[in-house]
Amino acid sequence: MLEHNLSIVGSVTIPVDHCLLTLPDAEPEQLQTVLSHPQALHQCSDFFKANRQLSAREFSNTAAAAQFVAEQKDPSLAAIGSFACAEKYGLVIHAQGIQNRKKNFTRFLVISRENICTPECTRMSMVFRLSHRPGSLIHALNHFAQRNINLLKLESRPIPDSPFEFVFYCDFSGNYEDDNVQAAMGRLPMDLISLKFLGNYPEL
Protein backbone atom coordinates (compact mmCIF):
# COMPACT_ATOMS: atom_id res chain seq x y z
CA MET A 1 0.00 0.00 0.00
CA LEU A 2 2.99 2.29 0.37
CA GLU A 3 3.90 1.71 -3.27
CA HIS A 4 0.42 1.94 -4.80
CA ASN A 5 -2.50 4.34 -4.54
CA LEU A 6 -4.91 2.07 -2.65
CA SER A 7 -7.21 2.73 0.30
CA ILE A 8 -8.66 0.63 3.10
CA VAL A 9 -12.46 0.77 2.89
CA GLY A 10 -13.40 -1.91 5.41
CA SER A 11 -12.16 -4.26 8.13
CA VAL A 12 -13.52 -7.77 8.77
CA THR A 13 -12.61 -9.95 11.77
CA ILE A 14 -13.19 -13.68 11.27
CA PRO A 15 -12.80 -16.44 13.87
CA VAL A 16 -10.20 -19.08 12.99
CA ASP A 17 -10.78 -22.71 14.00
CA HIS A 18 -7.84 -24.92 13.03
CA CYS A 19 -8.62 -28.58 12.32
CA LEU A 20 -6.43 -31.59 11.62
CA LEU A 21 -7.54 -32.88 8.21
CA THR A 22 -6.79 -36.41 7.00
CA LEU A 23 -7.78 -38.80 4.24
CA PRO A 24 -11.08 -40.56 4.97
CA ASP A 25 -9.42 -43.95 5.45
CA ALA A 26 -6.34 -42.75 7.36
CA GLU A 27 -5.80 -44.30 10.80
CA PRO A 28 -4.38 -42.18 13.67
CA GLU A 29 -1.31 -44.41 14.02
CA GLN A 30 -0.46 -43.84 10.34
CA LEU A 31 -0.11 -40.07 10.61
CA GLN A 32 3.43 -38.74 10.51
CA THR A 33 3.61 -35.35 8.74
CA VAL A 34 1.29 -32.35 9.09
CA LEU A 35 1.35 -29.66 6.40
CA SER A 36 0.12 -26.08 6.68
CA HIS A 37 0.99 -22.40 6.49
CA PRO A 38 3.78 -21.45 8.96
CA GLN A 39 1.43 -19.21 10.95
CA ALA A 40 -1.13 -21.99 11.33
CA LEU A 41 1.58 -24.41 12.47
CA HIS A 42 2.80 -21.86 15.00
CA GLN A 43 -0.73 -21.29 16.31
CA CYS A 44 -1.02 -25.06 16.92
CA SER A 45 2.35 -25.54 18.63
CA ASP A 46 0.77 -27.00 21.78
CA PHE A 47 -0.90 -29.68 19.67
CA PHE A 48 2.50 -30.75 18.30
CA LYS A 49 3.99 -30.81 21.79
CA ALA A 50 1.23 -33.19 22.86
CA ASN A 51 1.67 -35.33 19.72
CA ARG A 52 5.43 -35.58 19.27
CA GLN A 53 5.10 -38.41 16.75
CA LEU A 54 3.86 -35.78 14.28
CA SER A 55 6.26 -33.50 12.42
CA ALA A 56 5.26 -30.10 11.05
CA ARG A 57 6.02 -29.17 7.44
CA GLU A 58 5.50 -25.65 6.10
CA PHE A 59 3.31 -25.12 3.05
CA SER A 60 2.28 -22.04 1.07
CA ASN A 61 -1.20 -21.83 2.64
CA THR A 62 -3.75 -23.98 4.45
CA ALA A 63 -5.94 -24.64 1.41
CA ALA A 64 -2.98 -25.70 -0.74
CA ALA A 65 -1.84 -28.04 2.05
CA ALA A 66 -5.27 -29.68 2.19
CA GLN A 67 -5.35 -30.05 -1.59
CA PHE A 68 -1.88 -31.63 -1.56
CA VAL A 69 -2.90 -34.19 1.08
CA ALA A 70 -6.00 -35.08 -0.94
CA GLU A 71 -4.03 -35.49 -4.17
CA GLN A 72 -1.16 -37.51 -2.71
CA LYS A 73 -3.51 -40.08 -1.14
CA ASP A 74 -0.81 -40.85 1.42
CA PRO A 75 -2.38 -41.81 4.79
CA SER A 76 0.75 -40.62 6.62
CA LEU A 77 0.03 -37.02 5.55
CA ALA A 78 -2.37 -34.58 7.22
CA ALA A 79 -3.06 -30.87 6.94
CA ILE A 80 -4.13 -28.11 9.28
CA GLY A 81 -7.04 -26.22 7.76
CA SER A 82 -10.67 -25.23 8.05
CA PHE A 83 -14.04 -26.96 7.74
CA ALA A 84 -14.30 -25.49 4.24
CA CYS A 85 -10.97 -27.07 3.22
CA ALA A 86 -12.12 -30.49 4.44
CA GLU A 87 -15.36 -30.21 2.50
CA LYS A 88 -13.77 -28.92 -0.70
CA TYR A 89 -11.02 -31.54 -0.92
CA GLY A 90 -12.87 -34.57 0.48
CA LEU A 91 -10.93 -34.82 3.74
CA VAL A 92 -12.21 -35.67 7.20
CA ILE A 93 -11.72 -33.72 10.42
CA HIS A 94 -9.55 -35.88 12.66
CA ALA A 95 -9.33 -33.23 15.40
CA GLN A 96 -11.07 -29.87 15.78
CA GLY A 97 -10.02 -26.63 17.50
CA ILE A 98 -6.36 -27.59 17.85
CA GLN A 99 -5.09 -24.00 17.98
CA ASN A 100 -3.40 -22.85 21.21
CA ARG A 101 -5.95 -20.12 21.84
CA LYS A 102 -9.60 -21.03 21.51
CA LYS A 103 -10.53 -17.41 20.82
CA ASN A 104 -8.44 -17.11 17.66
CA PHE A 105 -9.26 -14.41 15.10
CA THR A 106 -7.79 -13.01 11.90
CA ARG A 107 -8.44 -9.48 10.70
CA PHE A 108 -8.83 -8.89 6.97
CA LEU A 109 -8.81 -5.52 5.21
CA VAL A 110 -10.99 -4.58 2.25
CA ILE A 111 -8.91 -2.63 -0.29
CA SER A 112 -10.15 -0.27 -3.02
CA ARG A 113 -8.65 1.96 -5.69
CA GLU A 114 -10.90 4.75 -4.42
CA ASN A 115 -11.00 6.24 -0.94
CA ILE A 116 -14.53 5.93 0.47
CA CYS A 117 -15.43 7.78 3.66
CA THR A 118 -18.95 7.82 5.14
CA PRO A 119 -20.36 8.75 8.57
CA GLU A 120 -20.26 5.03 9.45
CA CYS A 121 -16.44 4.95 9.21
CA THR A 122 -15.02 4.58 12.72
CA ARG A 123 -11.40 3.50 12.22
CA MET A 124 -8.46 5.28 10.58
CA SER A 125 -5.13 3.83 9.41
CA MET A 126 -1.93 5.62 8.45
CA VAL A 127 1.80 5.06 8.01
CA PHE A 128 4.34 7.70 8.99
CA ARG A 129 8.09 8.20 9.34
CA LEU A 130 9.67 10.22 12.13
CA SER A 131 12.87 12.18 12.46
CA HIS A 132 15.65 10.76 14.67
CA ARG A 133 15.26 12.79 17.84
CA PRO A 134 14.25 11.95 21.42
CA GLY A 135 10.50 11.90 22.03
CA SER A 136 9.49 12.22 18.38
CA LEU A 137 7.02 9.33 18.54
CA ILE A 138 5.31 10.41 21.76
CA HIS A 139 5.13 13.98 20.54
CA ALA A 140 3.36 12.88 17.34
CA LEU A 141 0.93 10.61 19.20
CA ASN A 142 0.14 13.35 21.70
CA HIS A 143 -1.72 15.25 18.99
CA PHE A 144 -4.31 12.47 19.15
CA ALA A 145 -4.23 11.91 22.90
CA GLN A 146 -4.80 15.60 23.63
CA ARG A 147 -7.95 15.49 21.50
CA ASN A 148 -9.31 12.31 23.14
CA ILE A 149 -8.71 10.11 20.06
CA ASN A 150 -8.07 6.48 20.98
CA LEU A 151 -4.99 4.65 19.63
CA LEU A 152 -6.08 1.15 18.53
CA LYS A 153 -2.90 -0.30 17.02
CA LEU A 154 0.77 0.67 16.65
CA GLU A 155 3.48 -1.32 14.86
CA SER A 156 6.95 -0.49 13.59
CA ARG A 157 8.35 -1.81 10.32
CA PRO A 158 11.97 -1.56 9.11
CA ILE A 159 12.67 0.61 6.10
CA PRO A 160 14.46 -1.31 3.30
CA ASP A 161 17.99 -0.03 2.62
CA SER A 162 17.83 2.21 5.72
CA PRO A 163 19.40 0.24 8.61
CA PHE A 164 17.85 0.87 12.05
CA GLU A 165 15.18 3.19 10.64
CA PHE A 166 11.48 2.46 10.81
CA VAL A 167 8.05 3.53 9.65
CA PHE A 168 5.10 3.29 12.03
CA TYR A 169 1.74 1.80 11.14
CA CYS A 170 -1.09 2.94 13.41
CA ASP A 171 -4.86 2.75 13.73
CA PHE A 172 -7.02 5.33 15.53
CA SER A 173 -10.72 5.46 16.31
CA GLY A 174 -12.80 8.23 14.75
CA ASN A 175 -14.10 9.70 11.53
CA TYR A 176 -12.00 11.96 9.31
CA GLU A 177 -14.78 14.58 9.30
CA ASP A 178 -14.72 14.92 13.11
CA ASP A 179 -13.37 18.26 14.33
CA ASN A 180 -10.90 16.67 16.76
CA VAL A 181 -9.55 14.38 14.04
CA GLN A 182 -9.14 17.29 11.64
CA ALA A 183 -7.28 19.23 14.32
CA ALA A 184 -4.92 16.33 15.09
CA MET A 185 -4.23 15.58 11.44
CA GLY A 186 -3.56 19.25 10.80
CA ARG A 187 -0.84 19.37 13.45
CA LEU A 188 0.71 15.96 12.73
CA PRO A 189 2.79 16.75 9.58
CA MET A 190 4.97 19.18 11.56
CA ASP A 191 6.49 16.22 13.45
CA LEU A 192 6.90 13.82 10.54
CA ILE A 193 9.24 13.20 7.63
CA SER A 194 6.47 11.50 5.66
CA LEU A 195 2.83 10.49 6.12
CA LYS A 196 0.45 8.32 4.09
CA PHE A 197 -3.19 8.15 5.09
CA LEU A 198 -4.41 4.60 4.33
CA GLY A 199 -8.13 5.05 4.89
CA ASN A 200 -11.08 5.75 7.16
CA TYR A 201 -13.42 2.78 7.19
CA PRO A 202 -16.07 0.77 9.08
CA GLU A 203 -15.41 -2.47 10.94
CA LEU A 204 -17.80 -4.87 9.24
Those residues with Cβ within 8 angstroms of residue 170's Cβ, 6 or more apart along the chain or in another chain: 125, 126, 127, 128, 141, 151, 152, 153, 154, 155
What's the distance, CA 1 to chain centroid?
Answer: 15
Q: Please report how the helices 179-187 and 136-145 are oriented relative to each other, as an axis angle in degrees rounded to 10.
A: 160
Q: Which of 13, 83, 108, 118 is catalytic?
A: 108
Active site residue 13: no
Q: Which of 144, 43, 173 is nearest to 102 (CA)?
A: 43
Q: What angle do CA 46, 16, 56 make, to 5 degrees?
A: 40
The active-site residue, picked from 106, 164, 166, 168, is 106
In the residue annotation, 108 being an active-site residue is answered as yes
Q: Which sequence positions are flagged as catalytic? A: 106, 108
